[in-house]
């Protein structure tokens, strides 16, 4: 990918957008408007300032300019604004709009400063109020009213910022949970796909090796089975990787996967590997949602793979039936069964997770007549 060319800049120029780190068009406009109002009040004042006019104008400019950086430097802007306001109130003028830039910047301290820096806002405010009324002989009720008003503005910004932090923390936890769930789902898919495929191919390859000299036709049949199993695995792997690509692209479109309609092909592959499987799907099971249909298929696939790999079974039965609002998936085999005190491995844990996603449950253990049994119930409407 060829990077886009950037326009050349003249010596000493500021690259476009750099100033936005310190202010925004809204705040720059707010500062400009406040400056116009301050100068208008200053020009209309009946009493001359007690300092030279350039000094008085400079103080008013500082009051307005701090509005431009109230987001990027909230506490620093407020300290400067408070100092300028105290001087302006005692040396220039205390009426009109002079105090209100300070109120806006204090609100910004609560909203945009970090939690620790925001707590310094009220302290600076109290010092500023004392300086503002230092040469005033008004009743104490006036400064107290100003303190409460300014404190309310700061509290409004502070509480809004804390609420935003809480919402962002909730969103971050939700994003982390979604990522963890997606990783678990992909891990289950890869485990079921690769584990099943590799086990079937290993069994087929072993049978082909034993039949190579005495039954060439049987060997060719097994090799064709290995080839077909590999092709099916590549298609499935491409589907799973497609899910990952779609997640990165943000499309969220999941290619269709195998379901109950794929059971005959699964039964045929298991037969080639030496496990005779009979499958009975109740017609009343109906048309299942795609996610549930895939999960039922994966449960059967993993159960049959375990029967072949761990149980040494020669035959197995699969039953899918619907009773009331439950879809029951049962797999039995005639293998060695589970030893006493066995612990579920990754395969059974993955099946339990698949059932839990739909609010279902898993039951497994030695069958009464020998072998191993596995039953999963999925709630369905």
pLDDT digits (tens, 9 = 90+) for 154-168: 999 999 999 999 988
Where are the chain's structural domains?
Answer: 22-137, 175-379
CB 306 within 8 A of CB 344: no
Tokens 């040494």 label which residue? Answer: 312
| DSSP state string for 135-162 | T----THHHHHHHHHHHHHHHHHHHHHH
pLDDT digits (tens, 9 = 90+) for 117-147: 999 999 999 999 988 888 766 666 778 889 9
3-state secondary structure of 343: coil
pTM of the entire predicted model: 0.54
Q: Which pLDDT score, from 0 to 100, does residue 189 have? A: 66
CB 311 within 8 A of CB 337: yes
Tokens 């910047």 label which residue? Answer: 105
Q: Which pLDDT score, from 0 to 100, does residue 95 have? A: 76
Which is nearest to 237 in space by CA: 184, 198, 280, 279?
Answer: 198
* Intervals of the chain under pLDDT 50: 1-17, 252-255
Q: Which pLDDT score, from 0 to 100, does residue 240 have? A: 63
Tokens 């299942």 label which residue? Answer: 288
Taking the C-alpha atoms of residue 151 and residue 79, their distance in angstroms, rounded to an integer, is: 15
pLDDT digits (tens, 9 = 90+) for 8-26: 443 433 344 455 577 889 9
CB 22 within 8 A of CB 76: no
What region does 372 belong to: left with phi over 0, alpha with psi -120 to 50, or beta? beta
Looking at domain 175-379, its CATH class is alpha beta
Q: Which pLDDT score, from 0 to 100, does residue 341 have? A: 73
Q: Which pLDDT score, from 0 to 100, does residue 73 have? A: 92
Taking the C-alpha atoms of residue 350 and residue 247, their distance in angstroms, rounded to an integer, is: 22
């Amino acid at each position: 990918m060829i990077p886009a060319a950037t326009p050349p800049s003249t010596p000493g120029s500021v690259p476009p957008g750099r100033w936005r780190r310190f202010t925004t068009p809204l705040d720059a406009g707010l500062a400009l408007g406040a400056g116009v109002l301050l100068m208008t009040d200053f020009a209309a004042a009946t009493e001359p300032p007690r300092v030279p006019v350039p000094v008085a104008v400079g103080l008013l400019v500082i009051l307005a300019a701090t509005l431009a950086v109230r987001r990027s430097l909230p506490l620093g802007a407020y300290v400067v604004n408070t100092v300028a306001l105290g001087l302006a109130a005692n040396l220039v003028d205390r009426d009109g709009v002079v105090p209100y830039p300070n109120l806006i910047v204090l609100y910004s301290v609560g909203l945009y400063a970090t939690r620790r820096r925001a707590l310094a806002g009220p302290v600076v405010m109290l010092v500023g109020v004392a300086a503002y009324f230092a040469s005033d002989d008004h009743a104490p009720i006036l400064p107290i009213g100003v303190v409460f008003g300014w404190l309310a503005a700061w509290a409004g910004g502070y509480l809004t910022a804390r609420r935003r932090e809480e919402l962002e923390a909730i969103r971050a936890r939700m994003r982390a949970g979604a990522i963890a769930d997606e990783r678990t789902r992909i891990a289950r898919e890869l485990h079921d796909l690769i584990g099943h495929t590799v086990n079937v191919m290993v069994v087929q390859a072993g049978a082909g090796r034993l039949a190579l000299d005495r039954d060439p036709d049987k060997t060719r049949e097994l090799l064709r089975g290995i080839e077909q199993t590999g092709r099916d695995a590549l298609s499935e792997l491409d589907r799973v990787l497609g899910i990952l690509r779609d997640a990165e692209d943000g499309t969220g479109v999941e290619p269709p996967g195998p379901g109950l309609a794929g059971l005959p092909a699964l039964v045929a592959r298991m037969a080639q590997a030496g496990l005779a499987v009979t499958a009975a799907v109740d017609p009343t099971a109906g048309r299942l949602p795609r996610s549930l249909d895939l999960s039922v298929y994966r449960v059967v696939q993993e159960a049959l793979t375990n029967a072949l790999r761990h149980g040494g079974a020669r035959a197995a039965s699969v039953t899918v039936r619907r009773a009331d609002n439950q879809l029951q998936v049962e797999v039995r085999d005639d293998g060695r069964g589970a030893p006493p005190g066995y612990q579920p491995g990754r395969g059974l844990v993955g099946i339990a997770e698949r059932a839990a996603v739909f609010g279902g449950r898993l039951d497994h253990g030695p069958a009464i007549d020998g072998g191993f049994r596995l039953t999963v119930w999925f709630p369905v409407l």
